[in-house]
Structure 1
Amino acid sequence: MLSDVSLRLRIFLFFVLLACGGFAIVSVALAFGYRSALTEGVANGFILAGIISGFGLLGLAIGIWLLFDENVAKPIQSLSTTLRARAHAGVDVKVDTHSARFLGDLAHAAEAVSLKLSSTTTDVAGMVALETDALVAQREQLAAILTEVPVAILLISPEHRIVLYDGQAAGTLAQIAPPRLNAVIFDYVAREQLIAAYNRLVKTGIETKFKATCPDRRVSFDARLKPLQGAHSYLLLIDEAHAMIAPDDTRPLTFDFELLADQPTSDLSQRKLDQISFVIFDCETTGLLPHKDELVQVGAVRVHRNKIIEGEHINRLINPGRPIPSSSSRVHHITDAMVLDAPTPKSVVNEFHHFARDSVIVAHNAPFDMAFMHRHGNQMNITWSHPILDTVLLSAILFGTTERHTLDALCDRLGVTIEPALRHTALGDATATAEALCRMLPMLAARGYTTLGDVLAQSRKHGRLLDDLN
């Protein structure tokens, strides 16, 4: 009750200050106007009084607005974003009760509600964790069994997208291009060969063998299509003896069975955020001028359904073909000796282009990183037609333009931890940005921005932030 009275008293005093300030300004203006009227005439006196009153009231309004903005508007905005982060992104961030001290008991009440929510969420998470541990153990057993089978296994959806692949399949696909969950299988197997085999499979309903090659004919192998009961999805099996499979033991069994049920619209801008694959990347360079400096490292990870896809990443050192300045090495710790035998920028850019196919590209301050990609892409006739999201702008949408939007500030706000040893490494920064994105996507959806088009439209409203940043 005392806090409630205190808040109401502050609001009352706010209006008293406005009234008293206005009265004082008008009184002073009339006094100066009266003096002017005695010496320069009544008309001049009225004009002077009006000018002083106008500017005085304008100054009072600005001053009151600044007080209101600093002590009421900003704390309310901060409080709302904190509550949204805790409710929708599972971020355990403490409510800043000090900055909201002029809001009475509102901040403390919000903290109590969020603590209760966190307690309930923790209890539920504990129960879910027990079930998850059992599922993880079963998945590991399944992966171990599949590894012993001398066949690479892929599960393909009716839309010919990869729903599951094991470590052996990852080793096979890697000979062609980076393996990607939800990728169109035609990125790895020539379309006409697979469609012909698939049509035979649908017609006969029995296992179909065929000779498969990759789209550019560099890699070929014997393959089989096996139908699954009651669906148009199918298994693609590749014989180890013919594919020269090099199993990737570091890559887990990768799958998302919900992809079998997904039927997203062909218009990417109208897709729900949880139906989109995102590729989050970061670059380390020889300097800060994209038109003349060069890449020395590219790191990228993939996100689908608000989760980082384990095992799907790029982490490449690059030989820039020139000495790396010591000032740059002090930031990213990459030296000339480390990149002596590394691939060229163009080969890594080409690899990243394939890795990002059919995905939305995300970066923190994307114009800087994409400038290098566009420069090399233009030289190799690569078109970057991907939609681009920038986490700087997503931060502005959720937390307001007055907040700091550096990667460190964003991660701190969302409870994302960047290991010091990984900060300013391409993969480390890309992973941190991806974790921040996974927390922001449900927050955006909760604000009503549920499709990619919604988010892009909101991002364009804050485009000047990037102009200022660069």
Structure 2
Amino acid sequence: MKLFEKIPWLRKPHPVIQRNRELFAEFSQARPLGEYTFVVCDTELTGLNRRRDEIISIGAVRIVNLQIELSQTFHEYIRPENIDPNEATLVHRITPQQLVAAPPMEEVLPRFVEFLGDALLVGHFVGIDMHFLNKACRRTLGGTLSNPSVDTMRLARGYKEACCRDFYGRCDTSTSYNLDDLSREFNLPRFKPHDALEDALQTAYLFLFLVKKLKDGGIRTLKDLYRSGRTLGLVS
């Protein structure tokens, strides 16, 4: 094997990564939020060690015109390099036998990047998902994702802090920003936790709830959202 094939940053990027870059070459933040497509994503992992652990499942759902498109979902189990039983697979209710039968990352990831297309990527604590997705992209596709991302955990924090300032003057900093707790607090439809697609659907409902509240507060465009993020930490 040649040296450039062994080292991701010396290898020519996969065509899906090249196309992904082209889609965002002239990206504009000035359009109303409803004109963007969003893909809400969740990954299930073997653990949270950023160097050692791997993605074992990706789930995602598309949002168009600020509506969830249930006919446009993505859900795949992925065979990791290490398929020994561990606590993470038990939490996610994914058995080692299921992972043995699953396709490897090299087969799944190009399909997921194609599914993303020109959408903004949304996740709850999305930095974790982006880290592991980009680590896999660098290793298997020779590049990273260009899709901007939005973090619903930060959106929720900014929204609740704004409510505190408007009505109470101070916030309870002990409040939980766990996805399930926020969904219960805001009376959203509930889905089964620790499943990539179900968590993506749960996050999608939270995202749309928060976007509606932010629009009521005068945030209309993606640029408005990013400007707010500079002070409230809404986006990443």
> Which category of TM-score, normalised to the shorter sequence, fits these structures?
0.7 to 0.9
- Structure (1 or 2) with the larger CA radius of gyration: 1
- Identify the residue that residue 451 of structure 1 maps to in structure 2: 221
Aligned counterparts, 1:238-317, within 5 A: 267-317=27-77
Contact 1:324/1:335 (CA < 8 Å) preserved in 2?
A: no
CA contact (8 A) 1:272 1:452 kept: yes
Cα RMSD after superposing both structures? 2.2
Query: Aligned partners of 1:362, 1:459: CA distance in 2, in Å?
Result: 15
User: Aligned partner of 1:381: which letter?
Assistant: G
User: One-letter code of the match for 2:32?
Assistant: K
Q: Which amino acid aligns with 2:114?
A: H
CA distance 1:383–1:326, shift in 2 (3 Å): closer
Instruction: Report the AA paired with residue 418 of structure 1.
Output: R
1:337 equivalent among 91, 97, 100: 97
Shift of 1:464: 10
Q: Deviations along 1:340-362, whole A, 9 cap, x unmatched? A: 12111232222111111111000
Q: Is the 8 A contact 1:361 1:386 kept in 2?
A: yes
- Identity percentage over the alignment? 29
The runs of 5 or more residues in structure 1 that have no matched partner are: 1-176, 178-186, 188-265
Aligned-pair distance for 1:449?
A: 1.1
Q: Give per-residue Cα distances to partners, 1:349-405, cap 9 Å, x unaligned.
A: 221111111110000001111111111211212331111100011101211273321
Partner of 1:359: 119
Cα pair distance change 1:341/1:307, threshold 3 Å: same
* Secondary structure, aligned partner of 1:385: coil
CA distance in 1, matches of 2:235, 2:146: 23
- 8 Å Cα contact 2:61-2:69 kept in structure 1: yes
TM-score, normalised relative to structure 2: 0.78
- Given that 1:389 and 1:456 are in contact with CA atoms closer than 8 Å, whether structure 2 keeps it comes out as no
> Letter of the aligned partner of 2:57 in structure 1?
Q
Match of 1:382 among 143, 160, 168: 143
| Higher-helix-fraction structure | 1
Q: Does 1:441 align with 2:211?
A: yes
Gaps of 5+ in 2: 1-15, 20-25, 162-170
Question: Higher RCO, 1 or 2 (CA under 8 Å, sep at least 6)?
Answer: 2
Question: Residues 406 and 345 from structure 1, CA distance in 2 versus in 1: closer, same or farther, beyond 3 angstroms?
Answer: same
Which AA in structure 1 matches 2:195?
T
**Partner Cα separation in structure 2 for residue 303 and residue 364 of structure 1:** 15
Distance 1:457 1:405 in 2: 22
Q: Residue 29 of structure 2 aligns to a residue in which SS?
A: helix
CA contact (8 A) 1:319 1:339 kept: yes
Report whether the alignment pairs 1:370 with 2:125: no
Give the superposition deviation at 1:308. Answer: 0.6
Q: 1:459 to 1:307 in 2, by over 3 A?
A: same
- The alignment's TM-score, normalised by the length of structure 1, stands at 0.41
**Aligned equivalent of 2:166:** none
2:176 is aligned to: 404
Distance change >3 Å, CA 295–CA 459, structure 1 → 2: same
Report the alpha carbon displacement of residue 465 of structure 1 after superposing the two structures with TM: 11
2:150, 2:234 within 8 Å by CA — same for their partners in 1?
Answer: no
Which residue of structure 2 aligns with residue 44 of structure 1? none
